[in-house]
Structure 1
Amino acid sequence: MTATGRFVNKILSFIVFTLLDILDFLLCYIYKILDYLIEAESKPCYCSSAKEAITSSGKILVSEHGESKIVRLTSTKLQLEEISDTLYTRPSLLSEVSKSSSDELKRGNSMKQSSCHEKINNKRGGRGTIRSTFTTNSTIVEMLQGRIQKLPIPRWSDCDCKTCTCWTSSCKESLFVKADGAKDNVQEDVLFIHGFISSSAFWTETLYPNFSNTTKSKFRLLAVDLLGFGKSPKPTDSLYTLREHLEMIDKSVLEAYKVKSFHIVAHSLGCILALALAVKHPASVKSLTLLAPPYFPAPKGKQASQYMIRRVAPRRVWPLITFGASLACWYEHISRTICLVICKNHRLWEFLTKLVTRNRIRTYLMEGFFCHTHNAAWHTLHNIICGTAGQMERYLQEVKNVVKCDVNIFHGKDDELIPVECSYSVKSRIPRAKVKVVENKDHITIVVGRQKDFARELEQIWENASAIKS
């Protein structure tokens, strides 16, 4: 029966995702028309070539040893940003057919051009040469400067309510941070980093009320809304790269609250940022607690980012959580449509949820899910989860050898999105890490539903770390 179920899942998945490939292809042109009619500009998408998608948006693509980076202007200097190749390379049946047709067309054009160049060279006596060069000059810098907006307005398909745009009313662009606990006599700081399409409420509504008075008198609790999520800024011109996320955390939390040393608690996608942050501040991290870290070691010969997207989003209709992840990972325009229906109208959905449930169910998880933009979710998903897959080995090696802090890992045994093997893979790279697998808990209920127990576990971890440091 198990084998039959897998076979049916594969056949059904092939049919469903082939139809979704076609739908996303059609939505690409629909959104180009709508964007032009509503915003008087059709912004490029990743259905086209990477160079066209990025350079036409004012950013310059640089390819280096199979990796992709873009040159972008920040303030007055040019910076290299690492982007994931999964943004523009996601093989599917439709994309392969489209690509082969496009290659044939380009091949025909190149033959015509080479013929013309040959004729020109012959006229010049064979001395003429055609070179393709790209130089960064003042004109390019001016072009990039002209596209920088301090407070970019939301796109028509994004929500423009006060919650989603509250950051635009402040001239200081920083992340939303919910602080609790010690205020005057702060002995310890704790940074909480949420996962994908979530918010600080994942921590503040579950753990904050369950910490003891003793903990709240000693520890300052800092839960952050990541860039593009919750009440934090959602810039429309950002690519939500690792550097951007880390710099915003540094500026909004570590610098703003004058944090010298701190504990980190992170969930899912937040685990990647936590590891990168620990590597960036090795002497400052006192303990590292990871919940369901998305670490899939790529086999030799496999490209890490492409292997990652197939593990997180395997293009299967079952289980439902992987189906949702596949929609979010593989389909730029379908996921934008989902954001248009859900996120833009989140106030309506929140009202209906409260009406149906009669407030029996807290809506903080839904609020975190609703308050983001498609641009933020799409780029964070690819540039952080997929794009950093090749760097995870280095991060884990640095934590093992340089970051001398306790590492604790928690994982729900029933997690269907990030399997338990991921936590054991992290332990294989960091032998001192302690792994606790919680029975009958999944990707969300590893915290939600067991918040009292988890609060006690965290308090013990922090106390032990403080005792060792002292």
Structure 2
Amino acid sequence: MIRWLICTATRQSADAVSSIATTAVFALLDILDALLCYIYALLDALLEGKAGSTVSCYCYGKRERTEKSCRTSETIHDRGNQWRKLLMGAEEFLGLNNRSTGKEGGKEASVKQGGGSKAKGGRWSDCNCESCVSWEREDGRKLHVVAEKSTLHPLEKAEAVIFLHGFQSSSSLWTETVFPNLSESAKANYLFFAVDLLGFGDSPKPRDSLYRLEDHVEMIERSVIQQFNLDSFHLVAHSMGCIIALALASKYPSSTKSITLVAPPYFSASSGEKASRIMMNRLAGKRLWPFLSFGSSVMTWYEHVGRTICFIVCRNHRTWERVFKFLTRKREVPFLIRDLTRHTHHSAWHTMHNVICKGAEYLDSYLQDIRTAEIPILVVHGSKDQIVPLECSFHIKSAIPFADVRTIPGANHGTVIVGREIHFTREIEATWDASRVRKQDLRT
């Protein structure tokens, strides 16, 4: 009894200390982000002039929010920074509030296509390497796609498989894990496309795109489906890519032959709270531990702190890669590390809110379309995933009873694929083959 009381008191004390530490850290981040807002406003005006004013922050965007016209997430406009609200109130009282009110989320930006932009050059705080500014070229309006052709069938005869990666990742997730482990039968019968999503990897990173869900879908259509004249395809997606895959399947139900979702973020909105809010609070809630969750919360809640981190890390990704090679004496940087820097703050920030958070509002509809079309669906999830909880996959099972949900004991968000590449590849190959057999049976 005494031991139990001591353990309970110790646990309560630890929880209290953790709660105080969390409150203190995020209060400091609130202040820092509010101050950085003014610093970046000054630097943007000095270094970009009028161009800087067309890509303003969202600190002041709520009052003239135009969600109906641009379909951006409410989470991007209002993230509950009390210090920012106090500063806004002081500005209004003193008559100093002449700041831009978020045109980036307004009508000017909403008319632009996902792969194009009227502004020239990347932002001063972003990297301006070839892939980062490729959107400026006329031939740079398509995604970077790694294609593996069938060894047996011509393009029009082979079945296509489209691979979509998750947040802050790239096509390397698939080309470094699945592609080297494909069976000879799969290589003979299928055509593989691993996509760098808009704003990530070697794909264009336009500064004026809002990186909405429809922008990502449109770019995949343009760069893969239309480019290669695909009339049917299988989809394989990880994490955030699952939202885009479900959007594609909903749009092309008769063309989608199967779907494989790995660690899909999907929460039930039965509580009455908006799905976008549920997604942000569950995936990027303000917490200090585990560290990946802390990083997600900082990059989701704090626009200017996140921009500073990207200014230090992503803008100088080539330098950091050279340093890594020098220190480790390796010729190549591991793709899991390299991919973390291959984006801009603009592309990551908007994709987080406008795809992951905003996309949550459409998932129920997408799943209903897939259920109606009876598209075979395999869901794979690690039992120790600390980024996307295992319950998400069970929610999908509730929405689609015929979904095949498989839990991988001991696997986390990354090791559900990395470290078990051969077994994972055989799982998804079996899904494609089952769909192909089903198709042949329907023909006969």
Aligned to 1:18: 27
Q: Does 1:199 align with 2:170?
A: yes
Local SS of the residue matching 2:423: helix
Contact 1:9 1:318 in 2 (8 A): no
Aligned to 1:47: 59
Q: Answer with 154-163 or 11-20: which moved more.
A: 154-163
Relative to structure 1, is the Cα distance of residues 425 and 7 closer, same or farther in structure 2, using a 3 angstrom cutoff? farther
| Structure-1-length-normalised TM-score | 0.82
Local SS of the residue matching 1:190: strand
Aligned to 2:383: 413
Q: Does 1:430 align with 2:400?
A: yes
The one-letter code matched in structure 2 to 1:466 is R
Aligned to 2:40: 31
- Unmatched segments (≥5 aa) in structure 1: 53-60, 63-67, 71-80, 110-139
The one-letter code matched in structure 2 to 1:411 is H
Q: Distance in 2 between matches of 1:151 and 1:98?
A: 30
Deviation at 1:465? 1.1
For residues 70-469 of structure 1, the aligned pairs below 5 Å read 70=69, 81-98=70-87, 149=117, 152-171=120-139, 173-182=141-150, 185-186=154-155, 187-359=158-330, 363-401=334-372, 403-469=373-439
Contact 1:188 1:218 in 2 (8 A): yes
Query: What do the CA deviations read for 1:272-311 (whole angstroms, capped 9, x no partner)?
Result: 0011100000000111000111111123331221222111
Q: Distance in 1 between matches of 2:205 and 2:418?
A: 26
The one-letter code matched in structure 1 to 2:414 is I
Relative to structure 1, is the Cα distance of residues 313 and 462 closer, same or farther in structure 2, using a 3 angstrom cutoff? same
Aligned to 2:101: none
Q: Distance in 1 between matches of 2:33 and 2:344?
A: 18
Contact 1:152 1:235 in 2 (8 A): no
Q: Distance in 1 between matches of 2:33 and 2:368?
A: 39
Deviation at 1:2? 4.7
Contact 1:9 1:316 in 2 (8 A): no
Deviation at 1:253? 0.4
- Alpha-carbon RMSD: 2.4
The one-letter code matched in structure 2 to 1:153 is G
The one-letter code matched in structure 1 to 2:123 is R
Contact 1:265 1:289 in 2 (8 A): yes
| Structure-2-length-normalised TM-score | 0.87
The one-letter code matched in structure 2 to 1:344 is R
Deviation at 1:178? 0.3
Aligned to 1:69: 68
The one-letter code matched in structure 1 to 2:288 is V
The one-letter code matched in structure 2 to 1:185 is P
Local SS of the residue matching 1:436: strand
Q: Distance in 2 between matches of 1:317 and 1:297?
A: 25
- Unmatched segments (≥5 aa) in structure 2: 1-9, 98-106
Deviation at 1:95? 3.8
The one-letter code matched in structure 1 to 2:318 is R
Q: Distance in 1 between matches of 2:174 and 2:218?
A: 22
* Identity percentage of aligned residues: 44
Contact 1:163 1:231 in 2 (8 A): yes
Q: Distance in 1 between matches of 2:241 and 2:76?
A: 20
Q: Distance in 1 between matches of 2:135 and 2:88?
A: 41
Query: What do the CA deviations read for 1:331-352 (whole angstroms, capped 9, x no partner)?
Result: 1011111111111110111122
Q: Distance in 2 between matches of 1:256 and 1:218?
A: 20
Query: What do the CA deviations read for 1:140-169 (whole angstroms, capped 9, x no partner)?
Result: 99x979xx8457311111111224334544
The one-letter code matched in structure 2 to 1:86 is T
Contact 2:135 2:206 in 1 (8 A): no
The one-letter code matched in structure 1 to 2:19 is K
User: Which is richer in strand?
Assistant: 1
